[in-house]
A and B are shown apart, each in its own frame.
Chain A
Amino acid sequence: MQNDVRKLREQQTLSQGDLARHLGVSRQTVNAIETGKYLPSLPLALAIGRYFTKPVEEIFHDDDKD
């Protein structure tokens, strides 16, 4: 599973800490999501999608898809 969280965050010139505060999680958790080490729960994935105003499936996608 890959995701575009880092790309979307950098497009908005946000730090990991900024995004973490918006989502109510720790900075390490944002980093773990971006590096693919941690797959967020459905509520957190929805919160990420809501924050970037994108559907979850556009942010998180299978490995074989860009």
Chain B
Amino acid sequence: MTTTKTKPPRRRARSTVLAGLLGGVLIMVAVLRQGAPIWSAVLGFAILAGYAALLFIFQARKDTIGTLAGNPVDERWGLINSRATELAATCAAVVAVGGYIVTEFAGRDNWQFALMAVVVGLSYLAGVVWFRRRL
């Protein structure tokens, strides 16, 4: 019986950093192709590159970096990861529903918020059905 996972390999953190940088570059290129201002392309890059930089800066702290890289070092870090994911999902749901309501009142196009709210809601329902069978 094992109680924990092994320590995350450094390669995993490196690949997460590289994936963040690559994603940032792809977003920047996509935004520039649409003729958008450079600052918006840089912002798109900065969001993902910032996350990658966070991983790089904290790489000395293996516990944190392992969790951020999606590989918690033990069960407590797994719980921390779950709680953080739960918090992020709650924020996403609030933004989706809140954004939909605000834009509806303003009479602006709001299909993106509606789509986001539907995806969050359906994925939550799917999660309940799935984990009810698995846990």
Contacts and interface: CB of A to CB of B under 8 A. Distances in A.
Interface string B60-76: 00010000000001111
B51 interface: no
A42 to B, nearest CB: 9
A29 B76 CA distance: 6
Nearest to B75: A41
Interface string A31-66: 010000010110110110000000000000000000
B76 A24 contact: no
Contacts, number: 40
B3 A26 contact: no
A24 B74 CA distance: 8
Interface residues of B, number: 12
A28 B76 contact: yes
B34 interface: no
A41 B3 CA distance: 8
B63 A47 contact: no
Interface of B: 1-4, 6, 63, 73-77, 79
16 contacts: A23-B3, A24-B2, A24-B4, A25-B4, A25-B75, A25-B76, A26-B63, A26-B77, A29-B76, A38-B76, A38-B79, A40-B76, A41-B3, A43-B3, A44-B3, A44-B4
Given A26-B63, A28-B63, A38-B76, 19 more contacts: A23-B3, A23-B4, A24-B2, A24-B4, A24-B6, A25-B4, A25-B73, A25-B74, A26-B73, A26-B76, A29-B76, A32-B76, A38-B79, A40-B75, A40-B76, A41-B3, A41-B75, A44-B75, A47-B3
Closest 10 CB pairs of A and B: A25-B74, A24-B4, A29-B76, A44-B3, A43-B3, A26-B63, A47-B3, A38-B76, A41-B75, A25-B4
Interface of A: 23-26, 28-29, 32, 38, 40-41, 43-44, 46-47
